[in-house]
Amino acid sequence: MSYPQRVAAKATQIEWARVLLSVVSAPFYVLGYLLGLLLAAVTFAAAAIALGVSDARTRGEVTDAR
């Protein structure tokens, strides 16, 4: 079987509905991934701030970190 015949045979196997659904859903996947990263970063920052405030209160004083 020649190369053009193999390409033609493969082209008939493409499921266009599946390709279209993948293209439509891709932005939602990326958006969800980015929102998940943002949530993780905000949660980490909030925990770090709470821990820093707690440490500063238990020491009784806040000093410059030089």
CA distance 9 to 17: 18
User: What is the distance between the terminal CA atoms of the chain, rounded to a whole angstrom?
Assistant: 74
| 59 vs 48, higher pLDDT | 48
Question: Using one digit for the tens of pLDDT, what is the confidence trace for 1-58?
Answer: 899 999 999 989 989 999 999 999 999 999 999 999 999 999 999 999 999 999 888 8
pLDDT exceeds cutoff 90 at 61 = no
pTM for this structure? 0.62
What pLDDT score was predicted for residue 62? 56
33 within 8 A of 41, measured Cβ to Cβ: no
